[in-house]
Amino acid sequence: MAKTMISDNFTLILRISTASIWLYAGILGKLLNSGFLNPSSEQYVGFTIQYLAQGSIIRQFLYIVAMPHPVLVGTLVMIGEICFGILILIGLMSRLCGVVAFYTNLIYFLSASWTGAEEYGLNLLMMIINAYIIAYGSGNFSIDSLVLRKFNVVNNKILWIIVGSVIYIAVIVYLILI
C-alpha cells in the first residue's frame, strides 16, 4: 500500500510539473503573445518554423508540413499545448494525451535540438515523462481512475497508442493535402 501511495504521489508530481510546462508554453508563449500568429511580428510562428528548419534533421518535413500553413500549424500547436496541459493536470484521457504529446515533443526535439542543450534536454525529458504516463497511466489522483471503475478501456495502452498515432498521422496528412 505504501508503494502505491508513493507511486501515485510521484505520478501526480510528474503530471503537475508537465502540465505547468505545457500550459506555460501554450498560454503565455502563444495564446497571450500577440505576435505569435501575426506575420508582421518578429515573434511570428512562421519565422520560428523557418529558423528551426535551417539546422533540423527533419528540415524537409517542416518545409512540406509546417511552412505552407504557419498560422494553422501555430494554432494547432497552441491548442494542443493547452489541451495537453489541462488533460494531464486533471488526469483525463492521460494515455491518449501522452501519446499525442510524445509525438509533439518528438517533432520539437527533432526540430530544435540543434539549437542548444535547453531544447534538447527539455524535449527529451518531456518525451520520457509522456512515455511514463503512457505506460503507467495517471495514477489514483485523476479523473481516469474514476472512469476506470466503470470502463477498463482506460488501461488499454495499445489502444491509446494506436488511436493517438492515427490522430497524429491524420493531422500530418491533412496538412500535407491542403
pLDDT digits (tens, 9 = 90+) for 105-123: 999 999 998 888 788 899 9
| pLDDT tens track for 2-16 | 556 678 899 999 999
The total of structural domains in the chain comes to 1
Rounded to a whole number of angstroms, the CA Rg of the chain reads 17
On average, the pLDDT of the chain sits at: 93
For 105, the domain range is 2-33+40-177
Contacts of 93 (CB under 8 A, 6+ apart): 87, 144
Cα within 13 Å of Cα(23), Cβ side: 12
The angle at the Cα of 97, spanning 91 to 98, to the nearest 5 degrees, equals 95
Name the H helices within 1-69: 2-23, 45-55, 59-61
The residues of the chain scoring below 70 in pLDDT are 1-5
Work out the end-to-end distance of the chain between its first and last CA atoms, rounded to an integer number of angstroms.
Answer: 53
Cα distances from 14 to residues 65, 86, 112, 141, 156, in angstroms, run: 31, 14, 23, 12, 21
In angstroms, rounded to a whole number, what is the distance separating the alpha carbons of residues 8 and 1? 11
In angstroms, rounded to a whole number, what is the distance separating the alpha carbons of residues 26 and 117? 21
pTM for the model? 0.91
